[in-house]
Structure 1
Amino acid sequence: MQDADVRDDEFELWDLRVEVTAPEGATLYCGARPGDHFELHGEMLHLPPGQGFSIYSLAALLPLLPAKQRDTHRADWMSTDAEVACPDPNCPSRFRITRTARRRFRHADTTAVALPTVAAQDGTGDGA
């Protein structure tokens, strides 16, 4: 999608899928199994029915997810690196973060704060 297709009050984020990977036969101490996953659509995290996810693993992943949802320069490591190690140093699992689809949002649907006017952004107005 081209930036020209996005209205002034819209922005796009990538939906993400985060999947557990591990060497065959490895013992995982976080309670995960290879193939366990969750999806992130905007700010909403979705787990498959009946599947859990370690809060410690999730805590390690959370700081990376908003950055991975946004477009980044092709040379930025966030664009190229997709696997994150389990935070338990004794666990060989990894978490593969995959961008799956773009989702469009409107500013007013995501915050109560008004979008600044163009004049306020370029310093010629007060933004009110």
Structure 2
Amino acid sequence: MSSEESGTFWLYDLKVETVLDGRTPVCRHVEGESFLVEGENLVFEANTRVSMYALAAVLPLLPAKQRDTSPDDWMSTDAEVACPDPHCGGRLRITRLEKRQFRHAETTGLPGARETPYWKKQERSQ
């Protein structure tokens, strides 16, 4: 049965990590600090901080990076997003990790198509 027939889809978990390009960063960028993207959630470890300006630059790309793309698509090959401050040497590197399966009925808000949200099911199983 295909994903379309079963009502499921796959998303990559992502790691978004701060890297420096050799210039002194203007914004608060600490090399190696990172957060994860799991489904729709941004997961930060305690005491991790990310510049809101750099985060604003990377956020629109995350849903596309979670999805399968052609190996020749730039979304598959280009991994670093520059801090929007032109004088800053900070970058955020997006790395695809393992894939996670979701069910449409657990992620939609459409009336008549909804089931218990995936995150509520996860809470119960923990």
TM-score > 0.5, shorter chain as reference: yes
Question: Post-superposition shift, 1:12?
Answer: 0.5
Whether 1:69 aligns to 2:42 is no
Match of 1:81 in 2: 78
Matches within 5 A, 1:1-128: 4=2, 8-23=6-21, 26-113=23-110, 114=112
SS in 2 for 1:63: helix
Aligned mates of 1:66, 1:74 — CA distance in 2: 17
Superposed CA RMSD: 1.8
Unaligned residue ranges in structure 1 (runs of 5+):
116-128
SS of residue matched to 1:95: strand
Gaps of 5+ in 2: 114-126
Partners of 2:8 and 2:99 in 1: CA distance? 13
Identity %: 50
Distance in 2, Cα, partners of 1:31 & 1:12? 33
What's the secondary structure of 2:17's corresponding residue?
strand
Displacement after TM superposition at 1:112 (Å): 2.4
Larger Rg: 1
Task: Name the amino acid aligned to 1:29.
Answer: V
**Pair 106,5 (structure 1): closer, same or farther in 2 beyond 3 Å:** closer
Which structure has more helix as a fraction of its residues? 2
Q: Is contact 2:54-2:82 (8 Å) kept?
A: no
Counterpart of 2:119 in structure 1 is: none
Q: Secondary structure at the match of 2:60?
A: coil
Counting matched residue pairs gives 112
